[in-house]
Amino acid sequence: MTRGRPHRNGRGLFLGAVLGAVAGYFAGRMLGSPAVGIVLGALVGSAVLYRVNPGPRKRR
């Protein structure tokens, strides 16, 4: 186990992009530009869940 190495998760990247795009669509629709909301929401959501959601650790 390497200490100090941040957790990464490919599933979190995909799930964050999908959830962020959906949330960004509705936020962008209220502000007048759903397409920009989708893009920004997907970027932010994937970045957050890629770092935050490490998933289960593998046993050695």
Residues 6 or more apart whose CB falls under 8 angstroms from that of 11 comprise: 53, 55
Reported as a single tens digit per residue, the pLDDT across 20-29 is 999 999 999 9
Express each pLDDT in 9-60 by its tens digit: 777 788 889 999 999 999 999 999 999 999 999 999 988 887 775 556 665 5
**Residue 5 within any structural domain of the chain:** no
- 30 is a domain residue: yes
Q: What's the number of CA atoms in the CB half-sphere (13 Å) around residue 25?
A: 5
- The structural domain count of the chain equals 1
Residue 28 lies in a domain: yes
33's CB contacts (< 8 A; 6+ apart) are none
Reference 6, options 58, 40, 55, 52; nearest CA is: 52
